[in-house]
Structure 1
Amino acid sequence: MRSVPFTVAAAVGALLLLSACSGSDSGGDGDGRGSGGSSSGSDAGRDSAARESPLHAYTKSIPSDNADDSAKRHKKAQNIIASCMQEAGFEYTPQDLPSQPASLDDAEAMGPVEWAEKHGYGWSASPESEIGEEELVNPDADYLAAMSESESAAYSLALFGEQQDVDAESGWDWTKGGCYAKANHEVYSNLNAAYEDPAFEDLHEEQRRMFEKVPDDPRLAAVNAEWSACMSEAGFDFARVSEALDSIAEAYAALPETTDETTSADLTKKEMATAIADAKCQEEVGYPEKAQEVQFALEQEFIDTHKAELDAWIEQYATDK
């Protein structure tokens, strides 16, 4: 069986499912998305998408993996490395964060309908396929090339540390990992700890389940029925919004590792047609906006129910205390 590529297809599919909820992400567990389209309703959708979700507003002091925070952390880590290497007697030029391939940012800018017309759900027409591999240039290449073999070895030891025999008992010792490990520990340890702390494992699991409830919430029954009727007119038989993406995901998962071009082309055609109809019907019936209302309501219920745990989590890991 062929595994389904999650990073683009599932993410873009989720964008179409909840495309008005962009403010909801809280450390990667939310299903917040952007809204758009070509009609006048798309402007209203984007205005709606700009609203900050209750959960994000409540927990935004916790470090997260959004693009802005990632760029800031990368810059801070690179500066720590440069300072550390200077103390060790070497030069090191902080490196820029490599540019990222097209992603959900493009989907938000284009709107779900335009995105679907170009990429479908993202399997057959992945945005990554349009971008060639970026040539990475080390700004210290000339400096490194002029080093002797012993100097190069000393530089590498200072930057990456010594080799370690890692086992289950001792683990990896970051203090022996050179300037890179020092920077990663100082910049990323709190981020990782916030989401890996066993004390809050149940809280994160409950949060994940809360977001999973959104598509099945009874308050979306009416708009799902409207969407289903719209899809029926386009030649598709689905009862709920989530079924459209699921049908394509299952079809790709069922493909054998090696398949003929005709079968692959047929599935590509089916994916594109389904994704385009899905996006248009969601926009027509106002599904993104209604889904956002439900999601925000569930988030507030989650906050009210788990306030003590959330407050303890924020107290321990907030970066702006």
Structure 2
Amino acid sequence: MRSTGPLAALAATALALSLAGCAGGANGELTYEDSPLGEYLSSAFGGDMSPEEQQKQIEEQQRKSEELMAECMAKEGFEYTPNIQNAGSVVSSDDVEWEPEKKEWVEKYGYGIVNSPFNQEMGDPGEEYVDPNQEYLDSLSESERNAFYETAYGVPPTEEEMSEDGSFEYDWENSGCQGWAQHELQGEDPWQSDEFAELRDKMSTLWSSTQDAPEFKALNAEWSSCMSDAGEPGFKTQPEAQQSISDEQNKIYEAVYGDGTEEVDPSTTEDPSKSPEMKALGEKEIALALVDLACREKTSYAQESLKIQFALEEKFIKDNKADLEAFKAAAEQSK
């Protein structure tokens, strides 16, 4: 499978939705909680767990992975101290207001890209991060450190092995001890098992092709016409408006840090998130998002898009009912 792409986006979206716990809509309006596929995805991504339970699960999985990695590195003749400092914390909807359909929220955050309520909730990073393996790495020669990293993470892909979008065909066998450790744990994860590989591919196709549905094309055309009339032409689909801000933000970061092919010392560079360019982009984001919101309201975009999406999901469930039930059963059994 690819390291990035529609499938990874699907998994991230499913997890985000399960964590967000969208509130039920008023007056019978649809919300993501009404997703027909949600019943199956929540089984794999913890939608029936509290934020505290999700956090505990994340930490436990990381602890197991790091212990396996240390075991693997020891067999290869290297010391490795399990690093359990990076377990991501779960932020629930009780902690953060995510209301992109409300004007007051959009006036403050836009799409939530440059200025995000999640950034405010997380606050200061706290104590400076210290790599538990740094002292050991400092004791190694340059060639020994290179061998350490290759053993731990595998040999980085060449330019020929990478696609135009920067993704590459992931193979755990070529990803060092980290790949081996993750593969060992994936035996407990139905989402990653070979048994459901075909289902994953079908689900990925479903989500990546949703915007191609005739109903969505008609809805986007109506929205696009509204945007042009309001002075924001050039967007054929609603997701393109938000993506345009993400693309510009990436360019600002790349201008400072590069494309990732060369190491850059952050201490010697200005923080791009606090630059005049980023401030201007934040203002542009809010202006664009407000026009977008007005056009979404005019076209009932949120409700209509959910109707279209859920209809496609219902058809998908009908065509893949047996596989989805098997996946749900396996996910519940693995808990």
Instruction: State the TM-score bracket (shorter-chain normalisation).
Output: 0.5 to 0.7
What is the identity, as a one-letter code, of the residue corresponding to 1:52?
Answer: D
User: Is 1:129 matched up with 2:126?
Assistant: no
In structure 1, list runs of 5 or more residues that go unmatched.
1-10, 15-24, 37-41, 82-96, 137-164, 173-184
What are the equivalent positions in structure 2 for 1:53-202 lying under 5 Å apart? 53-57=35-39, 59=40, 62-66=43-47, 68-74=49-55, 100=91, 106-108=97-99, 111-131=101-121, 132-133=123-124, 193-202=189-198
Quote the sequence identity (%). 26
Tell me by how many angstroms 1:134 deviates.
7.1
- Asked whether the 8 Å contact 2:21–2:33 carries over to 1, the reply is no
- Asked whether the 8 Å contact 1:116–1:276 carries over to 2, the reply is yes
- Distance in 2 of aligned mates of 1:124 and 1:299: 32
- Distance in 1 of aligned mates of 2:30 and 2:41: 19
Shifted more, 246-255 versus 236-245: the winner is 246-255
- Asked whether the 8 Å contact 2:36–2:314 carries over to 1, the reply is yes
- Distance in 1 of aligned mates of 2:283 and 2:54: 41
Equivalent pairs, count:
233
User: Is the partner of 2:34 in helix, strand or coil?
Assistant: coil
Tell me by how many angstroms 1:299 deviates.
0.8
What is the identity, as a one-letter code, of the residue corresponding to 1:124?
Answer: V
The one-character-per-residue Cα deviations of 1:279-319 (angstroms, maximum 9, x if unpaired) are 22112210111111111111112112222322322232324
Tell me by how many angstroms 1:222 deviates.
3.0
- Distance in 1 of aligned mates of 2:250 and 2:59: 40
- Distance in 2 of aligned mates of 1:69 and 1:318: 16
Tell me by how many angstroms 1:101 deviates.
7.9
Seen in structure 2, the aligned counterparts of structure 1 residues 245 and 103 have a Cα distance that, compared at 3 Å, is farther
User: Is the partner of 1:116 in helix, strand or coil?
Assistant: helix
Q: 1:52 — aligned with what?
A: 34
Seen in structure 2, the aligned counterparts of structure 1 residues 61 and 123 have a Cα distance that, compared at 3 Å, is closer
Seen in structure 2, the aligned counterparts of structure 1 residues 279 and 314 have a Cα distance that, compared at 3 Å, is same
Q: 2:255 — aligned with what?
A: 257
- Distance in 1 of aligned mates of 2:285 and 2:58: 41
- Asked whether the 8 Å contact 1:227–1:281 carries over to 2, the reply is yes
Seen in structure 2, the aligned counterparts of structure 1 residues 99 and 135 have a Cα distance that, compared at 3 Å, is farther
- Distance in 2 of aligned mates of 1:118 and 1:307: 43
Q: 1:207 — aligned with what?
A: 203
The one-character-per-residue Cα deviations of 1:150-183 (angstroms, maximum 9, x if unpaired) are xxxxxxxxxxxxxxx98979969xxxxxxxxxxx
- Distance in 1 of aligned mates of 2:231 and 2:119: 29
- Aligned-residue Cα RMSD (Å) equals 4.5
User: Is 1:283 matched up with 2:297?
Assistant: yes
Seen in structure 2, the aligned counterparts of structure 1 residues 63 and 222 have a Cα distance that, compared at 3 Å, is closer
Q: 2:212 aligns with which of 202, 209, 216?
A: 216
- Asked whether the 8 Å contact 1:53–1:296 carries over to 2, the reply is yes
Q: 1:273 — aligned with what?
A: 287
User: Is the partner of 1:125 in helix, strand or coil?
Assistant: coil
User: Is the partner of 1:48 in helix, strand or coil?
Assistant: coil
User: Is the partner of 1:257 in helix, strand or coil?
Assistant: helix
Tell me by how many angstroms 1:239 deviates.
2.6
In structure 2, list runs of 5 or more residues that go unmatched.
1-8, 64-87, 128-150, 154-172, 179-183, 257-271
Seen in structure 2, the aligned counterparts of structure 1 residues 240 and 134 have a Cα distance that, compared at 3 Å, is closer
- Asked whether the 8 Å contact 1:117–1:272 carries over to 2, the reply is yes
The one-character-per-residue Cα deviations of 1:236-261 (angstroms, maximum 9, x if unpaired) are 00232122112222222333433794
- Distance in 1 of aligned mates of 2:205 and 2:319: 14
Q: 1:300 aligns with which of 302, 305, 314?
A: 314
Q: 1:240 — aligned with what?
A: 237
TM-score scaled by length of structure 2: 0.54
User: Is the partner of 2:296 in helix, strand or coil?
Assistant: helix
Q: 2:266 — aligned with what?
A: none
TM-score scaled by length of structure 1: 0.56
- Distance in 2 of aligned mates of 1:306 and 1:27: 21
Q: 1:19 — aligned with what?
A: none
- Asked whether the 8 Å contact 1:101–1:128 carries over to 2, the reply is no
Tell me by how many angstroms 1:70 deviates.
4.4
